Amino acid sequence: MIDALFGSKTRVKLLHLFLNNPGKSFYVREITRLIDEQINSVRRELANMLQVGIITSDTADNKLYYEVNQRYEYYVPFRAIFADEKMQESTPTIRQDSWHGLLESLSGVRLVLLAGVLVKGSAVGVDLLIVGDVSPVKVKNVIKKIEKVESREINYSILSYDEFYYRLSVRDKFITEILNGKHAVLLDADKMLKL
């Protein structure tokens, strides 16, 4: 039935392979062995999937490797359809609306901006910007929880208050890109962005 819906059993097998192995790269011959399909149909479908953006490619050791694009707009819904493990709609320990509490509980946090995959329609490369004097280890633990809920990697950056304030004052490209793009302010303890 899914073959009929997606138009190609090779495409369905490829989606199944990639979405069950986020973060893992495969080369063409390896893919043909894993999904037991002809190399020409695999290449054709890989080209289609690259064009759509659901996979990315990279060259290493004179081989072209492919992997799922976890930043693809419809990554989470596709993963819900094709992943073998049952995806959780919301984990009882953390929900998106409790990020505020999780991030605010980190001592020293003064500003938290959401962008990228965490804000619909955002094309910014960073998903989470945390400003303050925070423990990188504690931030990493919180990020792991958020990644589990989102079922994808989260690109985040931590800046000290002084560094952020300086970059904001000189209109640094990194900060300007976030603030001019679609973003959400999760926490602004010092009202820095209202000045």
Nearest to 147 by CA among 158, 138, 156: 156
What is the model's pLDDT at position 103? 75
Question: What integer pLDDT is reported at residue 95 of this predicted model?
Answer: 46
For residue 104, the SS3 value is: helix
Pairing of strands 156-159, 184-188: unpaired
The predicted structure's pLDDT at residue 195: 55
**Whole-number pLDDT of residue 93:** 37
Question: Residue 170's pLDDT is what?
Answer: 94
For the chain, what are the domain ranges? 2-82, 96-194
Evaluate whether 2-82 and 96-194 have a shared fold: no
Give the 3-state secondary structure of residue 17.
helix
Q: Specify the fold of 2-82.
A: Arc Repressor Mutant, subunit A (1.10.10)
CATH number of the structural domain 96-194: 3.30.460
CB 49 within 8 A of CB 11: yes
pLDDT in tens, the chain (195 residues): 455 557 788 988 999 899 888 888 999 999 999 999 999 999 999 999 999 899 999 998 888 999 998 888 888 788 888 877 654 443 333 345 556 677 777 888 888 898 888 887 788 889 899 999 998 998 998 888 888 777 778 899 999 999 998 999 899 999 999 999 888 888 888 887 875
pLDDT of residue 166: 92
